[in-house]
Amino acid sequence: MSNSKDSLQPFHLAIPVNDLDSSKNFYHHLLGCKVGRSSDEWIDFNFFGHQLVCHLSEKSSNEISNSVDFHEIPVPHFGLVLSWSDFKSITSDLSEKKIEFLIEPTIRFKDQVGEQAIAFLKDPSGNAIELKAFKNMDNLFRSE
């Protein structure tokens, strides 16, 4: 498997939702994701270049969290690594739309290797989403 940034391909993620209409409102109208194919049971979204499929389900995942930097980080969660400016723009837009953040936009590791901005929110079905941006994208996978 290649580790080249140049060969990065879109990911596919399928998540359970309890209502397709509220999911469509959240992902399409609030986050601005384009709608793809759909049926009475599922709907595809272009999630910032990635394929996100919301599947209608009566079951939900257990809510588990890990304590990180005095915040309870929901597990599982998915999200996006954005540019610094896109992070600021998207989180500002969400704030203007009165989206409630689980964790308000904040900076971790300030002035250190791995400095990053993070924010967490949930969709209407309770799926946790993380938005993050690295001050220096070269540090995304840096271990020191």
Distance CA 114, CA 130 (A): 16
How far is residue 81's CA from residue 85's CA, in Å, rounded to a whole number?
A: 12
Number of H-type helices and E-type strands within the chain? 2, 10
CATH code at 1-57: 3.10.180.10
Write the pLDDT tens digit of every residue in 51-107.
999 999 987 666 677 888 788 888 889 999 999 999 999 999 999 999 999 999 999
Tens digits of residue pLDDT in 105-129: 999 989 888 899 999 999 999 999 9
**Would you kindly state where each structural domain of the chain is located, as residue ranges?**
1-57, 69-139
Mean pLDDT computed over every residue of the chain: 90
Q: CATH topology for 69-139?
A: 2,3-Dihydroxybiphenyl 1,2-Dioxygenase; domain 1 (3.10.180)
Q: How much of the chain, in percent, has pLDDT values that exceed 90?
A: 69
Query: pTM score, two decimals?
Result: 0.87
